[in-house]
Structure 1
Amino acid sequence: MQANPPFSLKPFNTFALAHSCRELVHAVSTEQLIESCCSLYQASEPMLILGGGSNVIFCDDFNGTVVLVETKGIDITEDIGNYYLSVAAGENWHELVCFCLDHGFAGMENLALIPGTVGAAPIQNIGAYGVEMEQFCDWVEYVDLTTGEYNRLSAERCEFGYRDSIFKRQLLGKALITQVGFKLPKQWRPELEYGPLKAINVDGVTPRQVFDCICETRLSKLPDPKVLGNAGSFFKNPVIDSTKFDILSKSYPSIVGYPHGAGKTKVAAGWLIDSAGLKGFKVGGAAVHDKQALVLVNTGDATSEDVVILAGSIVEKIEQKFGITLEAEPRMIGAYGERSL
């Protein structure tokens, strides 16, 4: 641990909110990560395990220790049909996607430019453009903070769902993810059903072409956090009954939705916010991005109160206009841990 608290958390959250913590630990090895987190947990000290800080909104100064996961390492094996990767929790997600592409391991290119670390990916079951992490997850290794013991869960036992996993439910606050295993089939099948990918001719398409398309699209719509603070997509795409979607389609023919299991439709939250006329809507220094309504941004001097009020206003307006309740995607962190919006 470092001396002279409090420590600024502004460099460690992509929304660039000016909050601080009492102690800050840079865990660069798995051993240091486990020792720090287990000792804090067993001492009942307030603790926040933080990866890239891209999926958190600090609502207050954190009255405890923030442990930054900065572990590195990628191990590769293969068999006749698949490549297998064992990746340290602190590896950058987009850099992992690039690493795979450079080494001829295809499949995860649709997930390019998603901010954050590998260890955070299973918690949220990150996804984009028709692909979710669970499709390539082989296993997740974690340390049980209550016992200090290693555990390895198969992908099936992780109970992945839409932006959901066992780590957000039964294991919330109890599991320290240390490694994630990936299984990438050598027989590549492109996923071209979403957004701009539909324009790509499936005949002869390469993983690099898909990657380039995703990167170009995201860079054109999503602001660089180094320039304009943001936490990426702020709201989950709501899943509603298909019958309700059909009714909405009659009033709003341009509404965007995708089948999501039997009798369910996933609605584009960005379309809802845009259609409600909320692009550019501001509260203090926080605003709805003028190019991508799903993204809330820090225009330079946003406070956490600005962000919470803005997000709450959007939820209320969408509920009133469409009868759909939006749910925030980033974790809201209060003085002693996670809280609701």
Structure 2
Amino acid sequence: MHLQKDVSLLPYNTFGIDKKAKYFSIANNIHDVIEAIQFSKKNNIPLVVLGGGSNILLTKDLEALLLKIDIQGISLIKETSESVWIEVGAGVNWHSLVLYCIEKEWAGVENLSLIPGTVGASPMQNIGAYGIEIKEVFENLTAINRDTLSIEKFDWAQCEFGYRESVFKNKLKNKYIISSVCFKLNKNPVFNTNYGAIQDTLQSMQVEELSIKAISDAVIKIRQSKLPDPKQIGNAGSFFKNPTVETAKFEALKKEYPLIPGYPLQDGVKIPAAWLIEQAGWKGKRFGNIGVHQNQPLVLVNYGDGDGAEIKILSEKIQASVEEKFGILLSPEVNFL
């Protein structure tokens, strides 16, 4: 394990926040991960795990060892006439994996194109977009137990997937470090084009024959039109989760706000957080070097030299404002460090 001291984390977070880590190391394999765990225990210093840095907000310098997971590799481990099973290193870039699967004509992840971050974070967050969640293609994962240093496998049920949730964000938070993920993909695609603007975008692209590449291209086009490029403006994508409310609560809101959008679920109605934030008056608001994006109010941005603590305060003001107006408390999707 190659250890560095007092390292700027500016290149390692998409918000573009310049904070330091007391110690920094990159893990290229499981052995590096185990060494990092041992170092943190021996020196009584917290161990913070980093993937693509696209879902974190740095609010201070970290008196910790920040371990960037960079375990690579995509391996075909099983194949039938209908399906393939692949094992992917936790450090593989998520969108690179999607493009790899499209090239191989393996279906199942095309709707998740251009989601930032790494493969290791995908089951932790149960990432999802345009009608698909990672749990639909997930088979199992391998992780290192921080207490025992043993290498363990988790199947689908053990991960306890929920909306942008898994067991690793709840009762097993900071207990394991994911090293690889196994996915089951389809050779015979079932196209999912019913969500959002996919169908309209496919028509505008004049797609004559539907394919997983066409769906991926449409999703990329939609995401690029709605979400700012972190290389241009610092951000972490959607800052808040879309809240789910009871049906009775939604009906009451509908009477007061006839235009409120809602998507019925088994356990209630999901309301777009972006709509709530915009109605509360935050869209496009700028406060010095930080603000709310002018096109997508779900995205908080760093225009340059912004401070993570300021963005956290802004997010709390938005939460309070939306709760006061609608009686709904938004939950951050971004992790504060």
TM-score of Structure 1 vs Structure 2, range by shorter chain? over 0.9
In the TM superposition, what is the alpha-carbon distance from 1:253 to its structure 2 partner?
2.5
Cross-structure match for 1:247? 252
Cα distance 1:218–1:41, how it changes in 2: closer, same or farther (>3 A)? farther
1:24-35 → structure 2 map (5 Å cutoff): 24-35=24-35
| CA deviation map 1:54-100 (0-9, x unaligned) | 00111110001101111100001311321111000000001101110
Cross-structure match for 1:49? 49
In the TM superposition, what is the alpha-carbon distance from 1:187 to its structure 2 partner?
2.7
Cross-structure match for 2:276? 272
Matched, 1:320 2:321: no
Matched, 1:215 2:220: yes
- Distance (whole Å) between structure 2 residues aligned to residue 308 and residue 330 of structure 1: 10
| Secondary structure in 2 matching 1:308 | helix
Quick one: which amino acid aligns to residue 283 of structure 1?
A: F
Matched, 1:158 2:163: no
In the TM superposition, what is the alpha-carbon distance from 1:203 to its structure 2 partner?
9.3
Cα distance 1:245–1:142, how it changes in 2: closer, same or farther (>3 A)? same
- Distance (whole Å) between structure 2 residues aligned to residue 292 and residue 236 of structure 1: 14
- Distance (whole Å) between structure 1 residues aligned to residue 263 and residue 38 of structure 2: 42
Cross-structure match for 2:179? 178
| Secondary structure in 1 matching 2:312 | helix
Taking every aligned residue pair, what percent have the same amino acid on both sides? 40
Q: 1:206 is matched with which residue: 204, 211, 214?
A: 211
- Distance (whole Å) between structure 2 residues aligned to residue 247 and residue 261 of structure 1: 18
Cross-structure match for 2:296? 292
- Distance (whole Å) between structure 1 residues aligned to residue 309 and residue 175 of structure 2: 29
TM-score (norm 1): 0.93
Answer yes or no: is the 8 Å Cα contact 2:60–2:309 preserved in 1: no
Answer yes or no: is the 8 Å Cα contact 1:37–1:67 preserved in 2: no
| CA deviation map 1:33-73 (0-9, x unaligned) | 23223442465321111000000111110001101111100
| Secondary structure in 1 matching 2:96 | helix
213-222 vs 245-254, greater mean Cα deviation: 245-254
Answer yes or no: is the 8 Å Cα contact 1:74–1:87 preserved in 2: yes
Quick one: which amino acid aligns to residue 143 of structure 1?
A: I
- Distance (whole Å) between structure 1 residues aligned to residue 34 and residue 185 of structure 2: 28
| Secondary structure in 2 matching 1:235 | coil
Quick one: which amino acid aligns to residue 88 of structure 2?
A: V
Computed over aligned residues only, the root mean square deviation of the Cα atoms, in angstroms, reads 1.7
In the TM superposition, what is the alpha-carbon distance from 1:271 to its structure 2 partner?
1.1
Q: Which runs of 5+ in 2 are unaligned?
A: none
Answer yes or no: is the 8 Å Cα contact 2:58–2:309 preserved in 1: no
Answer yes or no: is the 8 Å Cα contact 1:284–1:306 preserved in 2: no
- Distance (whole Å) between structure 2 residues aligned to residue 237 and residue 247 of structure 1: 18
- Distance (whole Å) between structure 2 residues aligned to residue 83 and residue 195 of structure 1: 28
- Distance (whole Å) between structure 1 residues aligned to residue 187 and residue 113 of structure 2: 19
Cross-structure match for 1:227? 232
Cα distance 1:254–1:42, how it changes in 2: closer, same or farther (>3 A)? farther
Quick one: which amino acid aligns to residue 18 of structure 1?
A: D
Quick one: which amino acid aligns to residue 249 of structure 1?
A: K
Matched, 1:329 2:333: yes
- Distance (whole Å) between structure 2 residues aligned to residue 38 and residue 286 of structure 1: 38
Quick one: which amino acid aligns to residue 7 of structure 1?
A: V
Instruction: Kindly tell me the number of residue pairs found equivalent between the two proteins.
Output: 331
Cross-structure match for 1:22? 22
TM-score (norm 2): 0.94
Matched, 1:7 2:7: yes
Quick one: which amino acid aligns to residue 316 of structure 1?
A: A
Answer yes or no: is the 8 Å Cα contact 1:42–1:146 preserved in 2: no
